[in-house]
Amino acid sequence: MLRRLLTILLPVAFVLVGAVVTPLGAVIAQQRTQEVYVDRLGDAGRFAALARTALETDRRNALTQEMSRYEQLYGIPVVVVAPDGRVVAGSGDPPRMRAVAEEAATGGGIIAALAGERPAPPVTVWPWDPDPLVVAEPIGRDSEVAGAVVLVAPTEELGEAILGTWGWMALFSTLPLALLVAASMPLSRWVLRPVRRLDAATTAVTSGDLDVRVDAERGPPELRRLTESFNTMVDVVRRALERQRSFVSEASHQLRNPLASLRLSVENLAPYLRGEEARQAHAVAIEETTVMHRMLNSLLAATRLESVTGTEAVEVAGLVETRVARWNALGRARGIEVSTDLPERVWAHAPAGGLGSILDELVSNALRLSGGTRIEVRAEDGEQVRIGVLDNGTGLPEEERGAALERFWRSPGHQNTEGTGLGLAIAADLVREAGGRLTLGEGLADGERRGFGVVIILPPAEPSAEPPDPPAAPSDPSAPSDPRD
């Protein structure tokens, strides 16, 4: 970002210096041109006075000698042109003087001088312009014009003088340019420092850290106001999430006791029931209270999962080793074998403190819903880390897999199975926020059954310098909700 800002500021600095130096250079060139023109005009006026006397007395030798000495000193040829355009005197031989007169006639200055008018002065002589400076002065005035004196001054020395002046200007302009360049570095850092802090804070918020704050006391006023607004926004979001989670947790806890009392009261009605229809209604009421109790447990588990924020580098095999004993115990209770196939030293960026809970959720769902005899937890290393929980059960139809990631969705084949359909949806959200994705597909083949598989794809991570503390397994095995139903 600093380089991009400097690529904008530095050209602006050059443009500003150029905007000052360029007109000044043009003014200096014009001023030097006017100085040379005034000098040459004075010389032409002096020769016009001498030429008038020489033409009136018909004594041109002195005039010719004076013009010759002038050309020898300054290298500027001088000619005297009669009203009919003939060269009547000059500083050199007649053929060369005629050539000088013809060269001077192209600008129209001689015609104006022969008409008794002084030609307009040149505007500016530029160093790259090879044309000479032509000065024409009428001999006499009005109707008494006896001819014109023409000086054809080369402009090489004038151009060199202008270039020299421009060179000194360019040299001196490097000082303010260097000051502007030097000032642009701290200025850019001063402007961008709050932007970098905001960028780092936004990255932290994206990772789930809502306790981050940005210093709003430094930087330009506009960025300070933006920083204050950012801090206020983060506070509002954090309070809203805390209120939401607190409400779900407290409401679930507050409803458990009335629900337990309601279930006990319904169960106590059993001795007073008469008839098969009443007993069936009583059984339905008990079942509904059981479902509501499971729903509250699932909401509490979902609240714990959604409290996971940020990402961390996790060594997958070490994490699974802390939980595989519990999975095996739950599997033996259901007659299902749980096995693992994990390479060592596979590190992945995972939800901070949440990958273990996610795997618990997936294994718990496979134990309850697969109807199989084997579950396998795999991990594969590569450009992406793939962690799969695969079973050889009945599986899930392909047309239902897209809806399985929606909250509260239940498969038609698992309507009477405990769970609310929150776990898998929340797990998919957590994996997505960690920069990965969760996909559903086929599992372990067992005859005609293809089973069901949930694959977590996470970005790889560099090994941590210190081994992380092993996460504790959840204390309530019944807490996770079912993801597939």
Provide the pLDDT for residue 464: 67
Rounded Cα gap, residues 234 and 130, in angstroms:
70
Provide the pLDDT for residue 69: 92
**For 59-103, how does the pLDDT look when each residue is reduced to its tens digit (9 = 90+)?**
888 888 888 999 898 888 998 888 888 888 888 888 888 888 887
Domains and CATH numbers, the chain: 2-160 (3.30.450.20), 207-307 (1.10.287), 310-485 (3.30.565.10)
Pull the structure tokens for residue 188: 């850019």
Provide the pLDDT for residue 446: 74
Provide the pLDDT for residue 480: 39
Provide the pLDDT for residue 472: 46
Pairing type for strands 133-139 and 87-90 reads unpaired
Alpha helices for 58-151 (secondary structure H):
61-74, 94-105, 109-114
Using alpha carbons, select from 335, 371, 288, 333 the residue that is nearest to residue 478. 333
Rounded Cα gap, residues 210 and 228, in angstroms:
15
Provide the pLDDT for residue 417: 57
Pull the structure tokens for residue 125: 């002589």
Q: Tell me the angle at which helices 276-306 and 423-433 cross, rounded to the nearest 10 degrees.
A: 10
> Residue 102 contacts by C-beta under 8 Å, 6 or more apart in sequence?
none
Q: What b/e readout covers 132-169, taking b as 16+ CB neighbours within 10 angstroms?
A: bbbbbbbbbeeeebbbbbbbbbebeebbebbeebbeee
397 close to 404: Cβ distance less than 8 angstroms:
no
Pull the structure tokens for residue 312: 């961390």
Using alpha carbons, select from 78, 136, 140 the residue that is nearest to residue 107. 136
Q: Which residues partner with 89 through β-bridges?
A: 80
Rounded Cα gap, residues 424 and 436, in angstroms:
14
Which residues in the chain land under pLDDT 50?
A: 467-485
